[in-house]
Amino acid sequence: MLAPSIVFVDLETTGANPALDRVIEVGIVKVSGGQIEYEWSALVDPGESIPPMIQGFTGISNEMVRGAPRFADLADEVFARIEGSLFVAHNARFDYGFLKNEFKRLGREFQPRVLCTVKLSRALYPEHHRHGLDALIARHNLACDARHRALGDARVLWDFVQLAYAEKPAEAIQAALKKAMKTPSLPSGLERSALDMVPEGPGVYLFYGENELPLYIGKGVSMRARVQSHFAADHGGGRAMRIAQEVRRVEWVETAGELGALLLEARLIKEKSPIHNRRLRRNDELCALHLKEDGGEFTQDRAVELVPLAGAAADDLDELYGQFKSKREAHNTLRELAAEHGLCLKRLGLEQGKGPCFNHQIKRCKGVCVGKESPQRHDLRLKTALAVLKLRAWPFAGRIAIRERDAGSERCEWHLFESWCYLGTAKSEAELHEIAAARCEARFDLDTYRILRRELEKRAGSADITRIPSPRTVGEATVVPSPRTRGEG
Q: 446 or 295, which is more confident?
A: 446
Euclidean distance between CA atoms 103 and 112, whole angstroms:
12
With a CB cutoff of 8 Å and minimum separation 6, the contacts of 294 are none
Mean pLDDT of the chain: 86
Least confident of 132-136, 174-178, 415-419, 473-477: 473-477
Least confident of 124-128, 159-163, 387-391: 387-391
The whole-number average pLDDT for the span 274-292 is 84
Least confident of 122-131, 251-260, 280-289: 280-289
- Could you give the count of Cα atoms lying within 13 Å of 451 in the half-sphere of its Cβ? 21
Q: What pLDDT is attached to residue 414?
A: 95
Q: What pLDDT is attached to residue 91?
A: 86
Q: Which of 343, 336, 331 is nearest to 375 (CA)?
A: 343
Q: 337 or 441, which is more confident?
A: 337
CA distances from 423 to 257, 411, 464 (A): 18, 20, 17
Question: By the 8 A CB rule, do 162 and 179 touch?
Answer: no
Place 183 in a pLDDT band, splitting at 50, 70 and 90.
low
Q: Is CATH 1.10.3720.10 correct for 192-272?
A: no
The whole-number average pLDDT for the span 234-261 is 80
Place 294 in a pLDDT band, splitting at 50, 70 and 90.
low
pTM above 0.75, yes or no: no
- Fold agreement (5-180, 192-272): no
348 φ, ψ (degrees, to nearest 5): -85, -5
Q: What pLDDT is attached to residue 489?
A: 32
The residue extents of the domains of the chain are: 5-180, 192-272, 287-389, 399-485
Place 488 in a pLDDT band, splitting at 50, 70 and 90.
very low
| pLDDT higher than 90, residue 328 | yes
Q: Quick one: 5-180 is in which CATH superfamily? A: Ribonuclease H-like superfamily/Ribonuclease H (3.30.420.10)
Q: Cβ of 293: how many Cβ atoms within 10 Å?
A: 12
Q: What pLDDT is attached to residue 474?
A: 39
Place 463 in a pLDDT band, splitting at 50, 70 and 90.
confident
Place 478 in a pLDDT band, splitting at 50, 70 and 90.
very low
